[in-house]
A = this chain, B = another copy of it.
Amino acid sequence: MRSLLTVHDLSRYDRESVVERAVFLRDRLDGGHAIDNALGEFTVGNVFFEPSTRTQLSFDLAAQHLGARVLNLNVSSSSTSKGESLRDTVETVSAIGVDMLVARHSDRGSMRSIHEWTARPVINGGEGSYAHPTQALLDAVTLVRHFGTLDGLSVGIIGDLAHSRVASSLYRLLPDLGAKVFQIGPPEFLSDEIDADQVADLASVLGDLDVVYLLRVQRERGAEISDSYVESYQLNGDRFRSLRDDAVVMHPGPVNRGVEVTSEVLDNARCLVLDQVANGVPTRMAVMEWALSG
């Protein structure tokens, strides 16, 4: 039994085998084939201290496909503003009898704390602006399914990198799998953790990218949507047509249509947003299997 707090908890071998397993499971699900009940007689606790729609449903269905019972617990942050309360919630849910915790929380460091307070494996379902490892993994799965490999791909991540746990996890994961990652955005949206040689100018690199990975401007975390941002960075029809013919567009959702991307681009067949969603369930299944097999 082992936990996934960041993508660094996966060895290079683990990363590749989890991605490969998820690709296999996606095919099984699409084909309507039976799945091994790897979590049969297990109970998964979905403990979300931040609201979520797609991620919580995705973990819920992943656990059910593996034969597990699921307990969903949504806790408002207000009721756990004190560290003691978070700890008490984690210890209580563990004592009730869950065999694995999936957790989401707004604070950096919360997953490390949760991991200390329970003997059960913990899967990070989103941690502040810091980490969202299963999102990065499902994105890798999406790219492997589309291009066959990540080796040699150029990926440009555009937008509000400073507030994005998705971006944090992506630029920890993708380079290790062989991709080159560029960080693109206005200065106030760039992260301190980014290497200078990863920062790129949109106009300079756009024609060379294999993947344009758009981020949502996160108004709920204090970011502002300015006209100049939309003008300078929105992936509109003109910018889309300047991409390579085989380049694809990705976005972790939910999308602000008309802000970071236009509907015209979203509805293009080279936009993989819904394929990313569809890879969420098999990727989380592969992660849960990995957590149990350690």
Given known A43-B61, A61-B43, contact A89–B53 (CB-CB < 8 A): yes
Distance in Å from the Cβ of A43 to the closest Cβ of chain B? 6
Q: How far is the CA of A69 from the CA of B62 in the complex (A)?
A: 11
Tell whether A210 is near chain B: CB-to-CB under 8 Å: no
- A64 close to B54 (CB less than 8 A): no
A84 CB contacts on chain B under 8 angstroms = 257-258, 263
> Which 9 residue pairs spanning A and B have beta carbons closest together?
A95-B277, A95-B274, A84-B257, A95-B278, A64-B69, A57-B71, A54-B92, A92-B277, A97-B281
A255 CB contacts on chain B under 8 angstroms = 88
A residues with a Cβ closer than 8 A to B are 29, 32, 34, 41, 43, 53-54, 57-58, 60-61, 64, 69, 71, 73, 75, 82, 84-85, 88-89, 91-97, 253-255, 257-258, 263, 274-275, 277-278, 280-281
- A61 close to B97 (CB less than 8 A): yes
- B96 close to A280 (CB less than 8 A): yes
- A32 close to B41 (CB less than 8 A): yes
Q: How far is the CA of A24 from the CA of B57 in the complex (A)?
A: 34
A61 CB contacts on chain B under 8 angstroms = 43, 69, 71, 96-97
A263 CB contacts on chain B under 8 angstroms = 84
Q: How far is the CA of A149 from the CA of B84 in the complex (A)?
A: 33
Instruction: Look across to chain B and name the residue whose beta carbon is closest to the beta carbon of A95.
Output: B277
Instruction: Look across to chain B and name the residue whose beta carbon is closest to the beta carbon of A254.
Output: B88
A280 CB contacts on chain B under 8 angstroms = 96
A257 CB contacts on chain B under 8 angstroms = 82, 84, 88
A88 CB contacts on chain B under 8 angstroms = 253-255, 257
